[in-house]
C-alpha cells in the first residue's frame, strides 16, 4: 500500500508549531525531501520543513526576497537534501484548501508530479496535503510517520532466572 | 561591393537558420529510486488518511518542545564546565590567601575575592586547607588535615622558605565538590608581618 505523501513527524511538528505561534497571521515555508517509487507508483517523502520570513497578514503571505534561495542553500549544505518537494502555508481559522492564488502558485512553481502543498489551519488544528490534478487540485493520501526508537530491553534479555 | 557581398551572406545565413528545425533540448529526467515506503515496524504512523483518499485531518495539540537538549545544556553549564573551570578559580582564590607571621603562627586568611562573572553564574564557596608544609632545610611536616581557612597553624620553623601543599575544595550548587592541589611557596621572615607568597598551580 503506497500513500502519495509521507512526512516525518519532526518536520510536521515544526510546521504546526510555527503556524500556531504566528496566529492570526499566515505563515509560509518550503518542504524538502525526496521522491521514490514502489510498485510503479511514485511517492514523496518530506524530511524537513523550513519556515521562511514572509510578508504576512491574516489572509495573505508572501516570502521575502531571497528567502527561497537561502532555504535551498541551507537544505543542501546542512541537511544534504537537494529536492524541494513542495511548500506549506497556513490558513488560520478558515480551513484547509488551495485558494485561487495558492493554486496559481502551485501551477507556477510546484507543477511536478511529486510536488505537494501542505495547508495547515492552526486554529481548527487541521491539515491536508494537495497536489495538482489537471486544471484543478485534489487532496492526496498521506501519512505522518516517526521512526520507532529502539530501547535496550534490559528486562527481556536472558528470560526468567 | 564588399558590403553587398556581406549582406547577401548574412541573408543566406539567416535563411539557413530559419530552415533549421528548432533546437530540441532533451532533459533527462533523473531516475527515481525504487524504495519501499516507510512503514511499520521501523516507523510508527502518527496520522494518516485512508490509503486511497486524501482528506483534511485533525491533529492533536503539539507536544511541548523536547527539553532534552535544554537539560543537556543545563548539565554541561552547571556540572561539567564548573568542574573544569573552578580549579582555576580555586587557584585564583588561593593567590589571594594572605599569610603572615604572628609569633610563630601562620594564618590563612580567606579573603575570597572571586571573579564577578563566576559568582554570577554559580554560587561557589572555596575552602582551603593545608595538607603539608615542606621546607628545604627541614623534613616534611604534615599538619592536621582538618584545618580550615582561618585556622592558626604553628610553624615547625621560625623562618625560612616553605612550600605549602594545599588542597582547594570548591563547592558549587551547594553539594557538588571539586578538589585541586596547589603548591604555594611562602617566605617567612621574623620581622615582617606580611610574607611573600606565590602559587604554582
Beta strands in B74-143 (DSSP E): 105-107, 124-135, 141-142
Whether residues B32 and A36 touch (CB distance < 8 A) is answered with yes
Quote the minimal CA–CA distance from A92 to chain B in Å: 14
Distance from CA of A70 to the nearest CA of B (A): 24
Residues of chain A with pLDDT under 70: 56-61, 63-69, 72, 75-76, 80, 82, 151-161
Q: What pLDDT is stored for residue B79 in this prediction?
A: 64
ipTM confidence: 0.83
pLDDT at B40: 84
Q: Which residue has the cell 578559580?
A: B89
Contact in structure between B169 and B178 (CB atoms under 8 Å): yes
pLDDT digits (tens, 9 = 90+) for B137-189: 333 344 444 545 445 555 444 555 555 555 555 555 556 666 655 555 555 54
Distance CA A122, CA A15 (A): 10
Q: How far apart are CA A95 and CA A88, in angstroms?
A: 14
Q: Per-residue confidence at B196, pLDDT binned at 50, 70, 90?
A: very low
User: Between these two residues, B197 and A64, which has the higher pLDDT value?
Assistant: A64
The number of angstroms, rounded, from the C-alpha of B80 to the middle of its chain's C-alpha atoms is: 7
Contact B45, A142 (CB under 8 A): no
Nearest chain A CA: its distance from B128 CA (Å): 45
pTM of the shown model = 0.56
Closest CA to A86 of A64, A108, A118, A63: A118
* A12: closest CA of chain B, how far (Å): 10
Tell me: the pLDDT tens digits for B60-97? 988 877 777 778 887 777 666 665 555 554 444 444 33
Among B54, B61, B68, the strongest candidate for a mutation testing the A interface, having the largest count of A CBs within 10 A, is B54
Question: Least CA distance to A42: which residue of chain B?
Answer: B32
CA-nearest residue to B41 within chain A is A148
B45 to A145: CB separation less than 8 angstroms, yes or no: yes
Whole-number pLDDT of residue A102 = 87
- Between positions 33 and 52 of A, the ones with CB within 8 A of B are 34-38, 42-43, 45
CB contact under 8 A, A148 and B47: no
Torsion sign (Cα): A7, A12, A14, A15 = positive
Chain A interface mutation, best of B37, B42, B61, B68, highest count of A Cβ atoms under 10 Å: B37
Amino acid at each position: 500500500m503506497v500513500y502519495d505523501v509521507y512526512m516525518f513527524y519532526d518536520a510536521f511538528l515544526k510546521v504546526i508549531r510555527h503556524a500556531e505561534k504566528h496566529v492570526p497571521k499566515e505563515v509560509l515555508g518550503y518542504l524538502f525531501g525526496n521522491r521514490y517509487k514502489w510498485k510503479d507508483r511514485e511517492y514523496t517523502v518530506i524530511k524537513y520543513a523550513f519556515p521562511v520570513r514572509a510578508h504576512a497578514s491574516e489572509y495573505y503571505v508572501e516570502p521575502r526576497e531571497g528567502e527561497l534561495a537561502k532555504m535551498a542553500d541551507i537544505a543542501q549544505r546542512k541537511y544534504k537534501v537537494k529536492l524541494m518537494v513542495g511548500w506549506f502555508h497556513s490558513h488560520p481559522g478558515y480551513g484547509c484548501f488551495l485558494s485561487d492564488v495558492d493554486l496559481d502558485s502551485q501551477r507556477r512553481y510546484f507543477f511536478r508530479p511529486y510536488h505537494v502543498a501542505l495547508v495547515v489551519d492552526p486554529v481548527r488544528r487541521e491539515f491536508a496535503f494537495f497536489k495538482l490534478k489537471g486544471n484543478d487540485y485534489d487532496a492526496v493520501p498521506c501519512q505522518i510517520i516517526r521512526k520507532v526508537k529502539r530501547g535496550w530491553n534490559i528486562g527481556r534479555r536472558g528470560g526468567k532466572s | 561591393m564588399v558590403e553587398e557581398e556581406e549582406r547577401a551572406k548574412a541573408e543566406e545565413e539567416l535563411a539557413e537558420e530559419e530552415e533549421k528545425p528548432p533546437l530540441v533540448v532533451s532533459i533527462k529526467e533523473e531516475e527515481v529510486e525504487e524504495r519501499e515506503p516507510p512503514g511499520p515496524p521501523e516507523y510508527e504512523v502518527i496520522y494518516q488518511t485512508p490509503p486511497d483518499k486524501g482528506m483534511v485531518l485533525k491533529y492533536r495539540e503539539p507536544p511541548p518542545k523536547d527539553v532534552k537538549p535544554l537539560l543537556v545544556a543545563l548539565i554541561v553549564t552547571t556540572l561539567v564546565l564548573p568542574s573544569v573551570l573552578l580549579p582555576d578559580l580555586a587557584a585564583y582564590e588561593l593567590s589571594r590567601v594572605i599569610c603572615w607571621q604572628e609569633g610563630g603562627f601562620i594564618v590563612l586568611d580567606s579573603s575570597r575575592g572571586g571573579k564577578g562573572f563566576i559568582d554570577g553564574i554559580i554560587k561557589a564557596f572555596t575552602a582551603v586547607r593545608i595538607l603539608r608544609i615542606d621546607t628545604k632545610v627541614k623534613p616534611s611536616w604534615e599538619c592536621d588535615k582538618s584545618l580550615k581557612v582561618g585556622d592558626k597553624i604553628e610553624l615547625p620553623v621560625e623562618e625560612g622558605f616553605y612550600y605549602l601543599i594545599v588542597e582547594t575544595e570548591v563547592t558549587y550548587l551547594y553539594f557538588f565538590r571539586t578538589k585541586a592541589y596547589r603548591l604555594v611557596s611562602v617566605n617567612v621572615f621574623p620581622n615582617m608581618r606580611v610574607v611573600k607568597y606565590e602559587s604554582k598551580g
